[in-house]
Each structure stands twice: as C-alpha cells, then as structure tokens.
Amino acid sequence: MRLTLDGDALAANWRWLRTQGGAAACGAAVKADGYGLGAREAVDRLAREGCRDFFVSSWAEAATLGAMPDGVALSVLHGVREADMPAALSGMARPVLNSAEQVARWKAAGGGSCDVMIDTGMNRLGLRPGEAGLLDGLAIETLMSHLACADEPDHPMNARQLARFEAVRQAIPAKRYSLANSAGTCLGGAYAFDLTRPGLALYGGVPVADDAAQRSGLRPVASIEAEVIQVRDVEAEESVGYGATWVAGLPCRVAILNIGYADGYLRGFSNAGSWRSGDAVYPIVGRVSMDLIAVQVGQEVREGDWLALDRDLPSLARVSGLSQYELLTVLGHRYQRRWT
Ligand SMILES: *Cc1c(COP(=O)(O)O)cnc(C)c1O
C-alpha cells in the first residue's frame, strides 16, 4: 500500500495558519514523527517556507530528527528529566521546563536559554501561575501555555485560559509568549500572541470540523491507497471476514485489499468505511483484519487495481470513532511512503 504525502499542501496549510495568527510567528509541532507522516520531511519543507520554531515531545525525538536547518529552533515539550541532561546541555534543542524540579535542575546545570510551560487550566504539563517566583533568573525564550478546549470555540474554558495567560504575561518576563495550537490559532487574533504552535491542521486535520473557513483553508496532506490482491464472487447468504459480521443479501463481487489494522486502518472501519476509484465508492464489508479488508465492488475492479481512501479526516473520524489525531499517528511502517 502507498502513502503519498503532499508537501505543497503542508506548506499551504502552514501559510494559511500563519495568516490566521496575524502578526504572530507560526511554528510547527512535529512530535510523534510529524503526526505519523514524517518529521524530517515536514521540518525541511516548512523551514524552506519560513517556519523557525519546531516542537517535539522528547529528547529521543529530537535526536532522531537530527540537525535542524540553519536559523531554526527546536523545543522539547516534555522538558528535562535527569537522564535528559546530557542531550539538553548539548544544545540540540531547548527544553520546555514544566515543573519546579525541572526548573531547579536546569538552573543548577547553568543551562541557559529555555522555554517554560505554565498550566492555565488543563492540569497537564506546566507550572502553576503561583509558582512564577521559581523562574527568577532564567533566560526564558518562549513562555507558553496550552488550551484544553480550543476545538470548541464557545467553550468557556477558552476565555478563562486566555485571561490567565494574559495575567501570566504581565508577571513573567520572556522574549515571546505562545498559547495557541491549531484550533487556538483559529480562535482569533487575541489567542495568537507572538508565536502559534499548530500541529494537526498542518497535516490536513480540521480542528473544528464544521467550520467552513477551516475547511476551505486546509488541504489534505496524506493520501492512502491499497492494492486489490484478489477479487471474488460471493453468493447470496454467504458471509465475509472474521466473525461473519457481514452477510451478502444478493450475489456480489468483493475485492480484497492489502491493508489492515497493522497499518493503522483500525477496526472502527469494519462495515463502516469506504474506498474509491475515481467517482466510484466501494463500501467496506465485514471486519478489518490485520493486513486485509474487503470492499464490495462492481465488474470494473480487477486484481492489481489500486483503490484510494477518502482523504477527508473529519469524515474518517466520524465513521471510525477515532480522532483525527489518532487517524494520523497510528499509521504503521509498512507503507511505501513518498513526499511530492
Ligand atoms: C501537540 C501540541 C501542540 C499542537 O497541537 P495541535 O492540536 O495538534 O495543533 C501545541 N502545543 C503543545 C504544547 C502540544 O503538546
């Protein structure tokens, strides 16, 4: 099966997100290997576009990514554990300090320039605003916080976190301030501050799925195709696949494709998803297997043909019950990958 990745779409999505942020710089989250699509390729492409700030989760991810292009900064969101200090002090990336322990560790090592995460309500990583005193004497490059509910624009949490972050900005000196992920970047200028940090939307995710502006501004990046490795005739009353969960009402033709849950095409698509060739749409019949699925087809489909998966992440998420984030990050390692 093939995974084709559209570098122009990635670049266009970044430019669109940058515009949403007004005067703010636009960074890029490339954690989890660029949301499963390829962090190295994403960094190189977006750096050429003008992106100067990248984010990974861990020092292992930073090391795997390798040298960054000139003039480009990398930040490690999980901060520094004791075991991370050699990597962190090597200067390959900046830590995002999250806890009193991490701040003390960084200060004791004389670590230099760093980023800091303040928790404004999510209760995930970050110092509480009341711990700001611990930061005295640190050279903070980017002071950031993270939104819990930005994909629900009307959620009261957004305004609450914005107000807390405004107060933090008055209290803690830093070169730059950053609050917004993809969905936050679409909440309007007040959320942009100096730097936005989109991830999902770069890769074709639509943070608020029914938002027309986002739908027209963001292009799919990943295209998945699978090959027909057998076509069979199924008689009326016969079943297809594990558990015999689908039974043919009438005689029909079924194509078997070489993709399955080991490729991140999870079982939520059993009897639910569909595949395409041109304008023809072929529904999945039966359960998704580890390496195979069955789709109901017409006479035109032959062994050796390639069928394409719908590229619209919001509708795939709806059909499968997975989030758009999961759909991307679970893609396995067996695809023939090609960036265009
Ligand atoms: C993952 C992450 C982002 C990007 O979030 P998206 O919702 O994918 O845009 C930004 N900031 C932090 C701290 C993150 O962990």
Examine the domain organization and report whether 188 and 228 are in the same domain: no
As a whole number of angstroms, the distance between CA 323 and CA 175 comes to 34
Q: Please, which pLDDT band fits residue 283 given cuts at 50, 70 and 90?
A: very high
CATH number assigned to the domain comprising residue 53:
3.20.20.10
- Atom number, ligand 1, closest to the C-alpha of residue 182: 9
Q: Please, which pLDDT band fits residue 210 given cuts at 50, 70 and 90?
A: confident
Q: How far is the CA of 330 from the centre of ligand 1 (A)?
A: 17
Domain end position, chosen among 165, 192, 214: 214
Examine the domain organization and report whether 256 and 200 are in the same domain: no
pLDDT of residue 163: 98
Examine the domain organization and report whether 12 and 121 are in the same domain: yes
Examine the domain organization and report whether 230 and 196 are in the same domain: no
Angle at 179 between CA 208 and CA 91, to 5 degrees: 120
242 is catalytic: yes
Average pLDDT over residues 261-283: 96
The pocket around ligand 1, CB under 6 angstroms, is made up of 29, 31, 77, 146, 181-183, 197-200
- Atom number, ligand 1, closest to the C-alpha of residue 198: 9
Examine the domain organization and report whether 28 and 136 are in the same domain: yes
Q: Please, which pLDDT band fits residue 114 given cuts at 50, 70 and 90?
A: very high
What stretches of 50-190 show up as alpha helix (H) in DSSP?
A: 59-65, 85-89, 100-108, 156-171, 182-185
- Atom number, ligand 1, closest to the C-alpha of residue 151: 7
Q: Please, which pLDDT band fits residue 209 given cuts at 50, 70 and 90?
A: confident
Whether the predicted pLDDT of 1 surpasses 90: yes
Examine the domain organization and report whether 97 and 162 are in the same domain: yes
Domain end position, chosen among 214, 230, 261: 214
Examine the domain organization and report whether 178 and 44 are in the same domain: yes
pLDDT digit string (tens) for 295-322? 999 999 999 999 999 999 999 999 999 9
Examine the domain organization and report whether 198 and 238 are in the same domain: no
Residue type, position 61, single letter: E
Examine the domain organization and report whether 52 and 132 are in the same domain: yes
CATH number assigned to the domain comprising residue 232:
2.40.37.10
What stretches of 100-201 show up as alpha helix (H) in DSSP?
A: 100-108, 156-171, 182-185
Examine the domain organization and report whether 197 and 258 are in the same domain: no
Q: Which one from 31, 191, 261, 282 is the annotated catalytic residue? A: 31
User: Which of 46, 146, 177, when mutated, tests ligand 1's pocket best, judged by the most ligand atoms within 8 Å of its CB?
Assistant: 146
List the beta bridge partners of residue 232: 254
- Atom number, ligand 1, closest to the C-alpha of residue 181: 9
Domain end position, chosen among 214, 237, 256: 214
Instruction: Put residue 33 in one of left, alpha, beta given phi > 0 → left and psi -120 to 50 → alpha.
Output: left
pLDDT digit string (tens) for 8-39? 999 999 999 999 999 999 999 999 999 999 99
Whether the predicted pLDDT of 77 surpasses 90: yes
Whether the predicted pLDDT of 160 surpasses 90: yes
Query: How many separate domains does the chain show?
Result: 2
User: Which of 77, 165, 218, 325, when mutated, tests ligand 1's pocket best, judged by the most ligand atoms within 8 Å of its CB?
Assistant: 77
Q: Which one from 175, 203, 242, 261 is the annotated catalytic residue? A: 242
Full residue range of the structural domain in which residue 15 is found: 2-214
* Contact between 92 and 62 (Cβ < 8 Å): yes
Examine the domain organization and report whether 206 and 279 are in the same domain: no
pLDDT digit string (tens) for 31-66? 999 999 999 999 999 999 999 999 999 999 999 999
Q: How far is the CA of 56 from the centre of ligand 1 (A)?
A: 10
Burial class of residue 323 (count of CB atoms within 10 Å of its CB; 0-12, 13-18, 19+): middle
107 is catalytic: no
DSSP SS3 for 279: coil
Q: How far is the CA of 191 from the centre of ligand 1 (A)?
A: 14
Q: Please, which pLDDT band fits residue 91 given cuts at 50, 70 and 90?
A: very high
- For the whole model, what pTM was predicted? 0.96
How many Å separate Cα 88 from the centre of its chain? 24
